[in-house]
């Protein structure tokens, strides 16, 4: 159930406005450079088990994590707040348990495609609670408010948890692709939003 109207997360002056949306158990909001957010991001992206499932780069120190969050915020501003990565905060205790993203899919090199991706990265302690599905369902609704007709989901082969989330969303699985992220083989799903 949607509890908060979806928004871009930014006001006219480019300042962060919270939240992007909320669900029964979660608040999805922009990441910030506050030390608590950097620490939460570090907990997610310094865990080899998490990074292995998302094909990302392991953050070995807090400075690298801060630089990563700063890069994501810069990209989000470049996209006018329309796209980006957002923190998933649990309502019950305000703990950040992960991140969701909605953005153009990266192609090869520095080229971004016109395909819009949704995705989720959760801290290992948050696995198995349904948070990824709940946040992704909200993200699909968010995509609809942006006028997006179709979203893409790409998953590392063997990442059964994310494959299951894509299935619960009702996404249609296509063939494995090397079209995105510099040719890494990925499972590819599409989901009609409208």
How confident is the model at residue 3, as a pLDDT? 36
Q: What is the pLDDT of residues 137-148, one digit of tens each?
A: 999 999 999 999
Q: What is the pLDDT of residues 56-91, one digit of tens each?
A: 789 999 999 999 999 999 999 999 888 999 999 999
Domain range summary for the chain, segments of one domain joined by +: 21-146
Domain 21-146 CATH superfamily? Gcn5-related N-acetyltransferase (GNAT) (3.40.630.30)
How confident is the model at residue 54, as a pLDDT? 85
Residue 14: band (very low, low, confident or very high) from pLDDT cuts 50, 70, 90: very low
Q: Look up the pTM and report it.
A: 0.88
Q: How far apart are CA 119 and CA 138, in angstroms?
A: 12
| Sheet strands side by side (includes 112-122) | 21-22, 26-30, 84-90, 96-106, 112-122, 150-155, 187-192, 172-173
């Amino acid at each position: 159930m949607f509890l908060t109207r979806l928004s871009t997360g930014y006001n006219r002056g480019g300042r962060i406005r919270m939240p992007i949306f909320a669900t029964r158990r979660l608040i999805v909001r922009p990441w910030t450079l506050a030390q608590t957010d950097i620490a939460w991001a570090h907990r997610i992206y310094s865990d080899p088990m998490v990074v292995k499932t998302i094909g990302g780069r392991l953050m070995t120190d807090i400075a690298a994590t801060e630089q990563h969050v700063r890069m994501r915020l810069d990209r989000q501003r470049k996209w006018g707040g329309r796209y980006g990565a957002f923190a998933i905060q649990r309502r019950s205790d305000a703990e950040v348990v992960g991140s969701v993203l909605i953005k153009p899919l990266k192609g090869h090199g520095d080229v971004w495609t016109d395909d819009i991706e949704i995705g989720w990265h959760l801290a290992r302690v948050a696995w198995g609670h349904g948070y990824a599905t709940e946040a992704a369902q909200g993200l699909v609704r968010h995509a609809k408010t942006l006028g997006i007709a179709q979203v893409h989901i790409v998953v590392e082969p063997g990442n059964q948890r994310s494959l299951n989330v894509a299935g619960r969303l009702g996404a249609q699985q296509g063939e494995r692709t090397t079209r995105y992220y510099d040719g890494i083989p990925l499972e590819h799903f599409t989901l009609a939003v409208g």
